[in-house]
Structure 1
Protein backbone atom coordinates (compact mmCIF):
# COMPACT_ATOMS: atom_id res chain seq x y z
CA UNK A 1 0.00 0.00 0.00
CA UNK A 2 1.29 3.48 -0.82
CA UNK A 3 0.14 7.08 -0.60
CA UNK A 4 -0.63 7.37 -4.33
CA UNK A 5 -3.05 4.45 -4.07
CA UNK A 6 -4.79 6.04 -1.08
CA UNK A 7 -4.91 9.41 -2.84
CA UNK A 8 -6.56 7.82 -5.87
CA UNK A 9 -9.01 5.93 -3.64
CA UNK A 10 -10.07 9.05 -1.72
CA UNK A 11 -10.42 11.08 -4.90
CA UNK A 12 -12.59 8.46 -6.64
CA UNK A 13 -14.74 8.22 -3.51
CA UNK A 14 -15.25 11.98 -3.40
CA UNK A 15 -15.71 12.50 -7.14
CA UNK A 16 -17.80 9.32 -7.57
CA UNK A 17 -16.08 8.83 -10.91
CA UNK A 18 -12.79 7.33 -12.11
CA UNK A 19 -12.54 9.76 -15.02
CA UNK A 20 -13.25 12.82 -12.85
CA UNK A 21 -10.69 11.64 -10.29
CA UNK A 22 -8.11 11.16 -13.04
CA UNK A 23 -8.61 14.76 -14.22
CA UNK A 24 -8.39 16.14 -10.68
CA UNK A 25 -5.18 14.22 -9.97
CA UNK A 26 -3.72 14.95 -13.44
CA UNK A 27 -3.34 11.22 -14.12
CA UNK A 28 -4.64 8.96 -16.86
CA UNK A 29 -7.79 6.97 -16.06
CA UNK A 30 -5.94 3.62 -16.51
CA UNK A 31 -3.43 4.77 -13.88
CA UNK A 32 -6.20 5.57 -11.38
CA UNK A 33 -7.88 2.22 -12.11
CA UNK A 34 -4.55 0.44 -11.60
CA UNK A 35 -4.07 2.14 -8.21
CA UNK A 36 -7.54 1.05 -7.07
CA UNK A 37 -7.11 -2.48 -8.41
CA UNK A 38 -3.77 -2.88 -6.61
CA UNK A 39 -5.25 -1.56 -3.37
CA UNK A 40 -8.26 -3.89 -3.58
CA UNK A 41 -5.99 -6.86 -4.27
CA UNK A 42 -3.71 -6.03 -1.34
CA UNK A 43 -6.61 -5.56 1.07
CA UNK A 44 -8.60 -8.48 -0.28
CA UNK A 45 -11.72 -6.36 -0.47
CA UNK A 46 -13.90 -4.68 -3.05
CA UNK A 47 -13.81 -0.96 -2.29
CA UNK A 48 -16.34 0.39 -4.80
CA UNK A 49 -19.71 -0.58 -6.19
CA UNK A 50 -19.95 0.50 -9.81
CA UNK A 51 -23.39 1.54 -11.08
CA UNK A 52 -24.53 2.80 -14.48
CA UNK A 53 -24.40 6.40 -13.25
CA UNK A 54 -21.49 6.66 -10.83
CA UNK A 55 -19.26 4.88 -8.34
CA UNK A 56 -20.19 4.36 -4.69
CA UNK A 57 -18.16 3.12 -1.75
CA UNK A 58 -18.75 -0.46 -0.66
CA UNK A 59 -19.03 -1.19 3.11
CA UNK A 60 -15.31 -2.03 3.10
CA UNK A 61 -14.62 1.19 1.21
CA UNK A 62 -16.55 3.19 3.81
CA UNK A 63 -14.39 1.58 6.48
CA UNK A 64 -11.17 2.57 4.69
CA UNK A 65 -12.22 6.09 3.66
CA UNK A 66 -11.91 7.84 7.04
CA UNK A 67 -8.49 6.40 7.82
CA UNK A 68 -7.23 7.08 4.29
CA UNK A 69 -8.18 10.76 4.58
CA UNK A 70 -6.36 10.99 7.93
CA UNK A 71 -3.21 9.47 6.42
CA UNK A 72 -3.24 11.91 3.49
CA UNK A 73 -3.73 14.85 5.83
CA UNK A 74 -0.78 13.67 7.94
CA UNK A 75 1.33 13.56 4.78
CA UNK A 76 0.38 17.18 4.00
CA UNK A 77 1.21 18.24 7.56
CA UNK A 78 4.64 16.58 7.40
CA UNK A 79 5.46 18.17 4.04
CA UNK A 80 4.35 21.58 5.31
CA UNK A 81 6.44 21.30 8.48
CA UNK A 82 9.61 20.13 6.74
CA UNK A 83 9.49 22.43 3.73
CA UNK A 84 9.11 25.74 5.54
CA UNK A 85 12.88 26.19 5.38
CA UNK A 86 12.72 26.01 1.57
CA UNK A 87 10.31 28.94 1.50
CA UNK A 88 12.91 31.17 3.18
CA UNK A 89 15.26 30.63 0.23
CA UNK A 90 12.59 30.95 -2.45
CA UNK A 91 13.87 31.83 -5.88
CA UNK A 92 12.97 32.37 -9.50
CA UNK A 93 12.60 29.21 -11.59
CA UNK A 94 12.91 29.47 -15.36
CA UNK A 95 11.09 26.61 -17.12
CA UNK A 96 10.90 25.81 -20.84
CA UNK A 97 8.11 23.69 -22.26
CA UNK A 98 6.97 22.36 -25.61
CA UNK A 99 3.32 22.71 -26.64
CA UNK A 100 1.69 19.67 -25.03
CA UNK A 101 3.28 19.87 -21.58
CA UNK A 102 3.24 23.67 -21.69
CA UNK A 103 -0.45 24.04 -22.51
CA UNK A 104 -2.08 20.91 -21.10
CA UNK A 105 0.08 19.45 -18.29
CA UNK A 106 2.21 22.17 -16.71
CA UNK A 107 -0.55 24.67 -15.82
CA UNK A 108 -1.91 22.26 -13.22
CA UNK A 109 1.57 21.36 -11.97
CA UNK A 110 2.57 25.03 -11.67
CA UNK A 111 -0.64 25.81 -9.82
CA UNK A 112 -0.10 23.00 -7.30
CA UNK A 113 3.56 23.94 -6.86
CA UNK A 114 2.86 27.62 -6.30
CA UNK A 115 0.27 26.77 -3.65
CA UNK A 116 2.65 24.36 -1.92
CA UNK A 117 5.69 26.68 -2.18
CA UNK A 118 4.17 30.17 -2.50
CA UNK A 119 7.46 32.04 -2.25
CA UNK A 120 8.84 30.83 -5.57
CA UNK A 121 8.50 32.79 -8.80
CA UNK A 122 7.98 30.77 -11.98
CA UNK A 123 8.81 31.91 -15.51
CA UNK A 124 7.60 29.76 -18.42
CA UNK A 125 9.02 29.89 -21.94
CA UNK A 126 7.21 27.95 -24.69
CA UNK A 127 8.82 26.51 -27.85
CA UNK A 128 8.86 23.22 -29.74
CA UNK A 129 10.68 20.27 -28.17
CA UNK A 130 13.94 20.75 -30.07
CA UNK A 131 14.08 24.44 -29.19
CA UNK A 132 13.39 23.69 -25.52
CA UNK A 133 16.35 21.30 -25.50
CA UNK A 134 18.53 24.05 -27.03
CA UNK A 135 17.41 26.49 -24.34
CA UNK A 136 18.43 23.94 -21.71
CA UNK A 137 21.77 23.30 -23.42
CA UNK A 138 22.49 27.05 -23.53
CA UNK A 139 21.55 27.55 -19.89
CA UNK A 140 18.64 29.86 -20.76
CA UNK A 141 16.15 27.69 -18.86
CA UNK A 142 16.89 25.52 -15.82
CA UNK A 143 14.35 22.78 -16.59
CA UNK A 144 12.72 21.80 -19.85
CA UNK A 145 9.57 19.78 -20.50
CA UNK A 146 9.51 18.05 -23.87
CA UNK A 147 7.63 15.44 -25.87
CA UNK A 148 10.74 13.61 -27.04
CA UNK A 149 14.44 13.13 -26.33
CA UNK A 150 17.67 13.82 -28.23
CA UNK A 151 21.05 12.15 -28.00
CA UNK A 152 23.12 14.52 -25.89
CA UNK A 153 25.38 13.29 -23.06
CA UNK A 154 25.27 16.75 -21.45
CA UNK A 155 21.49 16.54 -20.86
CA UNK A 156 19.49 14.42 -18.44
CA UNK A 157 16.07 13.30 -19.71
CA UNK A 158 13.70 11.93 -17.09
CA UNK A 159 10.21 10.67 -18.06
CA UNK A 160 7.44 11.99 -15.85
CA UNK A 161 4.14 11.53 -17.73
CA UNK A 162 2.54 9.05 -20.15
CA UNK A 163 0.71 10.80 -22.98
CA UNK A 164 -1.67 8.97 -25.33
CA UNK A 165 -1.37 9.69 -29.07
CA UNK A 166 -4.68 9.65 -30.95
CA UNK A 167 -6.05 10.17 -34.45
CA UNK A 168 -8.64 12.95 -34.61
CA UNK A 169 -11.26 13.24 -37.34
CA UNK A 170 -14.38 15.30 -38.02
CA UNK A 171 -17.48 14.02 -36.26
CA UNK A 172 -19.46 12.86 -39.29
CA UNK A 173 -20.96 9.66 -40.71
CA UNK A 174 -17.83 8.77 -42.66
CA UNK A 175 -15.77 8.42 -39.49
CA UNK A 176 -18.47 7.37 -37.04
CA UNK A 177 -18.53 3.98 -38.79
CA UNK A 178 -15.05 3.33 -37.33
CA UNK A 179 -16.15 3.80 -33.72
CA UNK A 180 -16.95 0.09 -33.45
CA UNK A 181 -14.33 -1.36 -35.81
CA UNK A 182 -11.40 0.97 -35.12
CA UNK A 183 -9.62 3.15 -37.67
CA UNK A 184 -8.33 0.82 -40.45
CA UNK A 185 -4.68 1.03 -41.38
CA UNK A 186 -5.42 0.95 -45.11
CA UNK A 187 -7.54 4.08 -44.71
CA UNK A 188 -4.40 6.07 -43.78
CA UNK A 189 -3.46 6.31 -47.46
CA UNK A 190 -6.92 7.57 -48.45
CA UNK A 191 -6.90 10.51 -46.05
CA UNK A 192 -5.62 14.07 -46.15
CA UNK A 193 -3.31 14.68 -43.18
CA UNK A 194 -2.47 17.71 -41.07
CA UNK A 195 0.86 17.32 -39.23
CA UNK A 196 2.60 19.25 -36.50
CA UNK A 197 5.70 21.23 -37.45
CA UNK A 198 9.24 19.85 -37.77
CA UNK A 199 10.85 19.92 -34.31
CA UNK A 200 7.58 18.97 -32.61
CA UNK A 201 7.89 16.07 -30.19
CA UNK A 202 4.36 14.99 -31.07
CA UNK A 203 5.28 14.75 -34.77
CA UNK A 204 8.55 12.92 -34.11
CA UNK A 205 6.92 10.34 -31.84
CA UNK A 206 3.86 9.94 -34.11
CA UNK A 207 6.06 9.29 -37.17
CA UNK A 208 8.15 6.81 -35.21
CA UNK A 209 5.08 4.84 -34.10
CA UNK A 210 3.57 4.90 -37.59
CA UNK A 211 6.80 3.50 -39.03
CA UNK A 212 6.77 0.75 -36.39
CA UNK A 213 3.23 -0.11 -37.54
CA UNK A 214 4.48 -0.49 -41.13
CA UNK A 215 3.02 2.76 -42.44
CA UNK A 216 4.87 4.20 -45.45
CA UNK A 217 5.04 7.91 -44.53
CA UNK A 218 5.94 8.90 -48.09
CA UNK A 219 2.51 7.70 -49.24
CA UNK A 220 0.58 9.91 -46.82
CA UNK A 221 -1.02 13.02 -48.35
CA UNK A 222 0.08 15.85 -46.06
CA UNK A 223 -1.99 18.92 -46.91
CA UNK A 224 -0.77 21.19 -44.10
CA UNK A 225 1.92 21.54 -41.45
CA UNK A 226 0.69 23.62 -38.52
CA UNK A 227 2.43 24.45 -35.24
CA UNK A 228 -0.64 25.57 -33.29
CA UNK A 229 -2.70 22.65 -31.97
CA UNK A 230 -5.86 24.73 -31.61
CA UNK A 231 -5.61 25.60 -35.30
CA UNK A 232 -5.15 21.92 -36.14
CA UNK A 233 -8.24 20.96 -34.15
CA UNK A 234 -10.34 23.64 -35.82
CA UNK A 235 -9.02 22.60 -39.25
CA UNK A 236 -9.92 18.97 -38.61
CA UNK A 237 -13.36 20.00 -37.37
CA UNK A 238 -13.80 21.88 -40.67
CA UNK A 239 -12.92 18.65 -42.57
CA UNK A 240 -9.63 19.95 -43.98
CA UNK A 241 -8.02 16.65 -43.02
CA UNK A 242 -7.26 14.36 -40.08
CA UNK A 243 -4.35 14.46 -37.66
CA UNK A 244 -2.46 12.72 -34.86
CA UNK A 245 -2.22 14.72 -31.64
CA UNK A 246 -1.79 14.30 -27.91
CA UNK A 247 -4.85 12.90 -26.20
CA UNK A 248 -4.52 15.59 -23.53
CA UNK A 249 -4.81 18.27 -26.23
CA UNK A 250 -8.08 17.03 -27.75
CA UNK A 251 -10.21 16.12 -24.73
CA UNK A 252 -12.16 19.39 -24.94
CA UNK A 253 -13.16 19.04 -28.60
CA UNK A 254 -14.04 15.35 -28.20
CA UNK A 255 -16.18 15.98 -25.12
CA UNK A 256 -18.00 18.77 -26.99
CA UNK A 257 -18.70 16.39 -29.87
CA UNK A 258 -16.71 18.46 -32.37
CA UNK A 259 -14.17 15.70 -33.10
CA UNK A 260 -13.87 11.92 -32.98
CA UNK A 261 -10.85 10.22 -31.45
CA UNK A 262 -9.30 6.88 -32.46
CA UNK A 263 -6.26 4.85 -31.53
CA UNK A 264 -3.74 4.87 -34.43
CA UNK A 265 -3.35 1.10 -34.17
CA UNK A 266 -4.94 -2.04 -32.74
CA UNK A 267 -3.60 -1.05 -29.31
CA UNK A 268 -3.46 2.34 -27.66
CA UNK A 269 -0.18 4.19 -28.22
CA UNK A 270 1.53 6.13 -25.46
CA UNK A 271 4.65 8.26 -25.54
CA UNK A 272 6.59 9.68 -22.61
CA UNK A 273 6.85 13.34 -21.75
CA UNK A 274 10.19 14.31 -20.24
CA UNK A 275 11.83 16.67 -17.82
CA UNK A 276 15.26 17.70 -19.06
CA UNK A 277 18.11 19.62 -17.49
CA UNK A 278 21.75 20.25 -18.29
CA UNK A 279 24.77 18.75 -16.55
CA UNK A 280 26.75 21.84 -17.54
CA UNK A 281 24.18 24.35 -16.24
CA UNK A 282 22.88 22.61 -13.13
CA UNK A 283 19.45 23.69 -11.81
CA UNK A 284 19.44 25.96 -8.77
CA UNK A 285 17.96 25.08 -5.39
CA UNK A 286 14.43 26.23 -6.24
CA UNK A 287 14.54 24.40 -9.58
CA UNK A 288 15.71 21.21 -7.85
CA UNK A 289 12.79 21.58 -5.47
CA UNK A 290 10.47 21.81 -8.49
CA UNK A 291 12.01 18.68 -10.07
CA UNK A 292 11.47 16.79 -6.82
CA UNK A 293 7.88 18.03 -6.66
CA UNK A 294 7.11 16.77 -10.18
CA UNK A 295 8.77 13.42 -9.44
CA UNK A 296 6.62 12.92 -6.36
CA UNK A 297 3.46 14.05 -8.14
CA UNK A 298 3.88 11.45 -10.90
CA UNK A 299 5.88 8.87 -8.96
CA UNK A 300 3.55 5.97 -9.69
CA UNK A 301 2.77 6.52 -13.37
Structure 2
Protein backbone atom coordinates (compact mmCIF):
# COMPACT_ATOMS: atom_id res chain seq x y z
CA UNK A 1 0.00 0.00 0.00
CA UNK A 2 1.37 3.41 -0.95
CA UNK A 3 0.17 7.00 -1.28
CA UNK A 4 -0.48 6.72 -5.02
CA UNK A 5 -2.76 3.73 -4.51
CA UNK A 6 -4.66 5.50 -1.75
CA UNK A 7 -5.04 8.62 -3.89
CA UNK A 8 -6.46 6.58 -6.75
CA UNK A 9 -8.92 4.89 -4.38
CA UNK A 10 -10.05 8.12 -2.68
CA UNK A 11 -10.42 10.05 -5.94
CA UNK A 12 -12.40 7.23 -7.54
CA UNK A 13 -14.81 7.20 -4.62
CA UNK A 14 -15.01 11.00 -4.50
CA UNK A 15 -15.75 11.42 -8.22
CA UNK A 16 -17.62 8.10 -8.62
CA UNK A 17 -15.60 7.51 -11.78
CA UNK A 18 -12.33 5.83 -12.72
CA UNK A 19 -11.89 8.16 -15.69
CA UNK A 20 -12.48 11.35 -13.66
CA UNK A 21 -10.10 10.13 -10.95
CA UNK A 22 -7.47 9.53 -13.63
CA UNK A 23 -8.06 13.00 -15.08
CA UNK A 24 -7.71 14.74 -11.70
CA UNK A 25 -4.57 12.75 -10.81
CA UNK A 26 -3.02 13.18 -14.30
CA UNK A 27 -2.58 9.44 -14.78
CA UNK A 28 -4.23 6.90 -17.07
CA UNK A 29 -7.48 5.12 -16.26
CA UNK A 30 -5.80 1.67 -16.41
CA UNK A 31 -3.30 2.93 -13.81
CA UNK A 32 -6.15 3.94 -11.48
CA UNK A 33 -7.75 0.53 -11.92
CA UNK A 34 -4.40 -1.19 -11.29
CA UNK A 35 -3.84 0.78 -8.06
CA UNK A 36 -7.26 -0.18 -6.70
CA UNK A 37 -6.83 -3.79 -7.78
CA UNK A 38 -3.48 -3.88 -5.93
CA UNK A 39 -5.17 -2.62 -2.76
CA UNK A 40 -7.87 -5.27 -3.03
CA UNK A 41 -5.24 -7.97 -3.54
CA UNK A 42 -3.20 -6.72 -0.59
CA UNK A 43 -6.21 -6.71 1.75
CA UNK A 44 -7.73 -9.86 0.24
CA UNK A 45 -11.14 -8.21 -0.05
CA UNK A 46 -13.31 -6.24 -2.43
CA UNK A 47 -13.30 -2.49 -1.80
CA UNK A 48 -15.64 -1.24 -4.53
CA UNK A 49 -18.82 -2.66 -6.00
CA UNK A 50 -18.78 -1.86 -9.71
CA UNK A 51 -21.78 -1.80 -12.01
CA UNK A 52 -22.22 -0.27 -15.45
CA UNK A 53 -23.94 2.75 -13.90
CA UNK A 54 -22.45 3.31 -10.44
CA UNK A 55 -19.75 2.63 -7.88
CA UNK A 56 -20.35 1.92 -4.21
CA UNK A 57 -18.17 1.05 -1.23
CA UNK A 58 -18.15 -2.33 0.44
CA UNK A 59 -17.92 -2.37 4.27
CA UNK A 60 -14.15 -2.88 3.95
CA UNK A 61 -13.98 -0.08 1.42
CA UNK A 62 -15.79 2.27 3.78
CA UNK A 63 -13.22 1.60 6.52
CA UNK A 64 -10.28 2.05 4.15
CA UNK A 65 -11.76 5.27 2.74
CA UNK A 66 -11.88 6.76 6.24
CA UNK A 67 -8.25 5.84 6.94
CA UNK A 68 -7.10 6.87 3.47
CA UNK A 69 -8.57 10.38 3.70
CA UNK A 70 -6.87 10.84 7.08
CA UNK A 71 -3.54 9.68 5.65
CA UNK A 72 -3.80 12.02 2.66
CA UNK A 73 -4.75 14.92 4.94
CA UNK A 74 -1.68 14.26 7.11
CA UNK A 75 0.46 14.10 3.98
CA UNK A 76 -0.88 17.48 2.85
CA UNK A 77 -0.32 18.92 6.32
CA UNK A 78 3.32 17.80 6.24
CA UNK A 79 3.83 19.30 2.78
CA UNK A 80 2.29 22.63 3.79
CA UNK A 81 4.13 22.93 7.10
CA UNK A 82 7.51 21.99 5.62
CA UNK A 83 6.97 24.40 2.72
CA UNK A 84 6.14 27.12 5.21
CA UNK A 85 9.55 26.66 6.81
CA UNK A 86 10.90 28.92 4.06
CA UNK A 87 8.06 31.40 3.50
CA UNK A 88 4.42 31.39 4.66
CA UNK A 89 2.07 30.78 1.76
CA UNK A 90 -1.63 30.88 1.00
CA UNK A 91 -3.29 28.72 -1.67
CA UNK A 92 -6.48 30.08 -3.19
CA UNK A 93 -8.68 28.63 -5.91
CA UNK A 94 -11.27 30.69 -7.77
CA UNK A 95 -13.76 30.12 -10.57
CA UNK A 96 -13.79 32.47 -13.54
CA UNK A 97 -16.11 35.26 -12.33
CA UNK A 98 -14.71 35.59 -8.76
CA UNK A 99 -11.17 35.29 -10.16
CA UNK A 100 -11.62 38.24 -12.53
CA UNK A 101 -13.95 40.53 -10.62
CA UNK A 102 -13.59 39.89 -6.87
CA UNK A 103 -10.29 38.18 -6.04
CA UNK A 104 -7.92 40.95 -7.27
CA UNK A 105 -9.47 43.58 -4.97
CA UNK A 106 -9.57 41.15 -2.04
CA UNK A 107 -5.95 40.06 -2.53
CA UNK A 108 -4.74 43.64 -2.88
CA UNK A 109 -6.35 44.59 0.44
CA UNK A 110 -5.01 41.42 2.10
CA UNK A 111 -1.47 42.01 0.81
CA UNK A 112 -1.48 45.53 2.26
CA UNK A 113 -1.98 44.02 5.73
CA UNK A 114 0.04 40.80 5.25
CA UNK A 115 2.86 41.66 2.81
CA UNK A 116 5.03 38.69 3.86
CA UNK A 117 2.52 36.02 2.80
CA UNK A 118 3.16 34.48 -0.61
CA UNK A 119 -0.12 33.81 -2.44
CA UNK A 120 -0.65 31.04 -4.98
CA UNK A 121 -3.91 31.57 -6.88
CA UNK A 122 -5.35 29.23 -9.49
CA UNK A 123 -8.43 29.52 -11.69
CA UNK A 124 -10.68 26.62 -12.74
CA UNK A 125 -14.37 25.77 -12.76
CA UNK A 126 -16.42 26.02 -9.56
CA UNK A 127 -16.75 22.31 -8.78
CA UNK A 128 -13.04 21.72 -9.40
CA UNK A 129 -12.21 24.50 -6.93
CA UNK A 130 -14.54 22.91 -4.36
CA UNK A 131 -12.83 19.53 -4.79
CA UNK A 132 -9.39 21.15 -4.45
CA UNK A 133 -10.45 22.70 -1.15
CA UNK A 134 -11.95 19.39 -0.06
CA UNK A 135 -8.73 17.60 -1.01
CA UNK A 136 -6.54 20.13 0.82
CA UNK A 137 -4.91 21.38 -2.40
CA UNK A 138 -6.33 24.87 -1.79
CA UNK A 139 -6.91 26.52 1.58
CA UNK A 140 -9.81 28.70 0.43
CA UNK A 141 -11.96 28.88 -2.68
CA UNK A 142 -14.19 31.50 -4.30
CA UNK A 143 -16.91 29.89 -6.39
CA UNK A 144 -20.23 30.50 -8.12
CA UNK A 145 -22.24 27.51 -6.90
CA UNK A 146 -22.58 25.02 -4.07
CA UNK A 147 -22.67 21.23 -3.98
CA UNK A 148 -23.80 18.76 -1.34
CA UNK A 149 -21.16 16.22 -2.42
CA UNK A 150 -18.49 17.58 -0.08
CA UNK A 151 -17.66 18.25 3.56
CA UNK A 152 -16.94 21.89 2.70
CA UNK A 153 -18.93 24.85 3.96
CA UNK A 154 -20.10 27.69 1.71
CA UNK A 155 -20.27 31.27 2.93
CA UNK A 156 -22.07 33.71 0.58
CA UNK A 157 -20.06 36.91 0.13
CA UNK A 158 -21.50 38.62 -2.97
CA UNK A 159 -24.24 38.48 -5.59
CA UNK A 160 -23.83 38.14 -9.34
CA UNK A 161 -26.55 38.87 -11.89
CA UNK A 162 -26.97 36.40 -14.73
CA UNK A 163 -28.23 37.62 -18.11
CA UNK A 164 -28.71 36.36 -21.64
CA UNK A 165 -25.90 37.59 -23.86
CA UNK A 166 -26.73 37.75 -27.57
CA UNK A 167 -24.99 38.97 -30.75
CA UNK A 168 -25.45 42.66 -31.54
CA UNK A 169 -27.11 41.91 -34.89
CA UNK A 170 -30.41 43.19 -36.37
CA UNK A 171 -31.95 39.75 -35.75
CA UNK A 172 -31.39 39.97 -32.01
CA UNK A 173 -31.97 43.73 -31.85
CA UNK A 174 -35.56 42.97 -32.86
CA UNK A 175 -36.00 41.19 -29.52
CA UNK A 176 -35.36 44.50 -27.74
CA UNK A 177 -38.69 45.81 -29.02
CA UNK A 178 -40.64 42.90 -27.50
CA UNK A 179 -42.21 43.40 -24.05
CA UNK A 180 -41.32 39.82 -22.97
CA UNK A 181 -38.67 38.34 -25.27
CA UNK A 182 -37.33 35.64 -22.93
CA UNK A 183 -39.35 32.64 -24.12
CA UNK A 184 -38.61 33.42 -27.77
CA UNK A 185 -34.91 33.98 -27.06
CA UNK A 186 -34.57 30.58 -25.43
CA UNK A 187 -35.46 28.97 -28.76
CA UNK A 188 -32.36 30.46 -30.41
CA UNK A 189 -29.08 28.51 -30.87
CA UNK A 190 -27.61 28.16 -27.39
CA UNK A 191 -23.98 27.96 -26.23
CA UNK A 192 -23.47 26.25 -22.88
CA UNK A 193 -20.68 26.24 -20.28
CA UNK A 194 -19.21 22.89 -19.20
CA UNK A 195 -20.81 20.75 -16.49
CA UNK A 196 -18.57 21.85 -13.60
CA UNK A 197 -19.08 25.58 -14.23
CA UNK A 198 -21.00 27.52 -11.60
CA UNK A 199 -22.74 29.41 -14.41
CA UNK A 200 -23.86 26.07 -15.90
CA UNK A 201 -25.24 24.92 -12.55
CA UNK A 202 -27.17 28.16 -12.09
CA UNK A 203 -28.44 27.96 -15.67
CA UNK A 204 -29.93 24.57 -14.81
CA UNK A 205 -31.60 26.07 -11.72
CA UNK A 206 -33.03 28.89 -13.83
CA UNK A 207 -34.41 26.48 -16.43
CA UNK A 208 -35.92 24.26 -13.72
CA UNK A 209 -37.71 27.27 -12.23
CA UNK A 210 -39.23 27.92 -15.67
CA UNK A 211 -40.29 24.30 -16.06
CA UNK A 212 -37.62 23.68 -18.72
CA UNK A 213 -34.60 21.42 -19.15
CA UNK A 214 -31.56 21.36 -21.42
CA UNK A 215 -33.55 19.17 -23.81
CA UNK A 216 -35.82 22.17 -24.43
CA UNK A 217 -32.88 24.27 -25.65
CA UNK A 218 -31.21 24.21 -29.05
CA UNK A 219 -27.71 23.58 -27.63
CA UNK A 220 -25.15 23.82 -30.43
CA UNK A 221 -21.92 23.92 -28.39
CA UNK A 222 -20.57 23.19 -24.91
CA UNK A 223 -17.41 25.14 -24.02
CA UNK A 224 -15.14 25.22 -20.97
CA UNK A 225 -13.53 28.55 -21.90
CA UNK A 226 -15.78 31.49 -20.97
CA UNK A 227 -13.74 33.95 -23.06
CA UNK A 228 -13.97 31.77 -26.18
CA UNK A 229 -17.70 31.27 -25.63
CA UNK A 230 -18.22 35.03 -25.39
CA UNK A 231 -16.25 35.55 -28.61
CA UNK A 232 -18.47 33.00 -30.38
CA UNK A 233 -21.53 34.97 -29.30
CA UNK A 234 -20.03 38.18 -30.69
CA UNK A 235 -19.48 36.42 -34.01
CA UNK A 236 -23.17 35.55 -34.21
CA UNK A 237 -23.03 31.86 -33.33
CA UNK A 238 -25.81 32.00 -30.75
CA UNK A 239 -26.78 33.12 -27.24
CA UNK A 240 -25.80 32.07 -23.72
CA UNK A 241 -26.55 32.77 -20.07
CA UNK A 242 -23.52 34.48 -18.54
CA UNK A 243 -22.49 36.65 -15.63
CA UNK A 244 -23.38 40.28 -16.28
CA UNK A 245 -20.02 41.30 -14.82
CA UNK A 246 -18.20 39.45 -17.61
CA UNK A 247 -20.18 40.97 -20.50
CA UNK A 248 -21.36 44.44 -19.49
CA UNK A 249 -18.22 46.15 -20.84
CA UNK A 250 -18.77 44.46 -24.22
CA UNK A 251 -22.41 45.53 -24.15
CA UNK A 252 -21.42 49.15 -23.52
CA UNK A 253 -19.14 48.95 -26.57
CA UNK A 254 -21.99 47.63 -28.70
CA UNK A 255 -20.46 44.16 -29.15
CA UNK A 256 -23.23 42.28 -27.31
CA UNK A 257 -26.87 42.67 -26.38
CA UNK A 258 -27.99 41.82 -22.84
CA UNK A 259 -31.42 40.59 -21.77
CA UNK A 260 -32.47 40.10 -18.11
CA UNK A 261 -33.73 36.67 -17.08
CA UNK A 262 -37.32 37.61 -16.50
CA UNK A 263 -39.07 40.59 -14.95
CA UNK A 264 -36.64 40.68 -12.00
CA UNK A 265 -32.88 40.27 -12.27
CA UNK A 266 -31.81 36.67 -11.70
CA UNK A 267 -29.17 36.85 -8.98
CA UNK A 268 -26.92 34.03 -7.92
CA UNK A 269 -24.68 34.06 -4.89
CA UNK A 270 -20.91 33.77 -4.90
CA UNK A 271 -19.33 31.81 -2.07
CA UNK A 272 -16.21 31.52 0.01
CA UNK A 273 -15.63 27.79 0.36
CA UNK A 274 -13.50 26.12 3.05
CA UNK A 275 -13.29 22.80 4.83
CA UNK A 276 -14.09 22.81 8.55
CA UNK A 277 -12.81 19.24 8.96
CA UNK A 278 -9.63 19.13 6.86
CA UNK A 279 -6.30 20.61 7.87
CA UNK A 280 -5.91 24.28 6.99
CA UNK A 281 -2.63 26.15 7.32
CA UNK A 282 -2.64 29.11 9.70
CA UNK A 283 -2.42 31.46 6.72
CA UNK A 284 -5.67 30.04 5.36
CA UNK A 285 -7.50 30.69 8.61
CA UNK A 286 -6.17 34.25 8.77
CA UNK A 287 -7.23 34.91 5.18
CA UNK A 288 -10.72 33.49 5.81
CA UNK A 289 -11.24 35.82 8.78
CA UNK A 290 -9.87 38.74 6.74
CA UNK A 291 -12.29 37.98 3.89
CA UNK A 292 -15.20 37.84 6.34
CA UNK A 293 -14.31 41.31 7.62
CA UNK A 294 -13.67 42.61 4.10
CA UNK A 295 -17.15 41.59 2.96
CA UNK A 296 -18.72 42.40 6.34
CA UNK A 297 -19.97 38.84 6.85
TM-score (norm 1): 0.66
Partner of 1:77: none
Deviation at 1:220? 0.6
Partner of 1:51: none
Describe the superposition over 1:136-169 as per-residue Cα deviations: whole angstroms up to 9, x where unpaired.
1111111111111111462111111101111001
| Structure 1: segments with no counterpart, 5+ residues | 1-89
Look up the SS of the partner of 2:102 in the other structure.
helix
Partner of 1:148: 145
Deviation at 1:268? 0.4
Conserved? CA contact 1:182–1:262, under 8 Å? no
Deviation at 1:233? 1.1
Partner of 2:112: 115
Q: Does structure 1 residue 195 correspond to structure 2 residue 224?
A: no
What is the CA RMSD across the aligned residues, in angstroms?
2.0
**Which of the numbers 266, 291, 299 marks the counterpart of 2:296?**
299
Conserved? CA contact 1:182–1:266, under 8 Å? no
Partner of 2:224: 227
TM-score (norm 2): 0.67
Q: Does structure 1 residue 163 correspond to structure 2 residue 160?
A: yes
Conserved? CA contact 2:162–2:266, under 8 Å? yes
Q: In structure 2, what is the Cα distance between the partners aligned to 1:118 and 1:185?
A: 48
Q: Does structure 1 residue 273 correspond to structure 2 residue 255?
A: no
Q: In structure 1, what is the Cα distance between the partners aligned to 2:176 and 2:289?
A: 41
Q: Does structure 1 residue 135 correspond to structure 2 residue 135?
A: no
Q: In structure 2, what is the Cα distance between the partners aligned to 1:183 and 1:107?
A: 37
Q: In structure 1, what is the Cα distance between the partners aligned to 2:198 and 2:179?
A: 25
Q: Does structure 1 residue 125 correspond to structure 2 residue 122?
A: yes
Alpha carbons of 1:253 and 1:280: their partners in 2 closer, same or farther (altered >3 Å)? same
Deviation at 1:190? 2.7
Partner of 1:97: 94
Conserved? CA contact 1:144–1:276, under 8 Å? yes
Tell me how many residue pairs correspond in the alignment: 212
Deviation at 1:91? 2.5
Conserved? CA contact 2:158–2:270, under 8 Å? yes
Q: Show the 5 A alignment for 1:237-276.
A: 237-276=234-273
Look up the SS of the partner of 2:148 in the other structure.
coil
Q: Show the 5 A alignment for 1:77-96.
A: 91-96=88-93
Q: In structure 1, what is the Cα distance between the partners aligned to 2:276 and 2:176?
A: 47
Alpha carbons of 1:164 and 1:156: their partners in 2 closer, same or farther (altered >3 Å)? same
Bigger shift: 235-244 or 253-262? 253-262
Q: Does structure 1 residue 207 correspond to structure 2 residue 194?
A: no
Alpha carbons of 1:290 and 1:183: their partners in 2 closer, same or farther (altered >3 Å)? farther
Q: In structure 2, what is the Cα distance between the partners aligned to 1:282 and 1:248?
A: 34
Describe the superposition over 1:61-105 as per-residue Cα deviations: whole angstroms up to 9, x where unpaired.
xxxxxxxxxxxxxxxxxxxxxxxxxxxxx8311011111112222
**Which of the numbers 103, 106, 109 marks the counterpart of 1:106?**
103
Conserved? CA contact 1:163–1:273, under 8 Å? yes
Q: In structure 1, what is the Cα distance between the partners aligned to 2:248 and 2:113?
A: 27
Alpha carbons of 1:182 and 1:228: their partners in 2 closer, same or farther (altered >3 Å)? farther
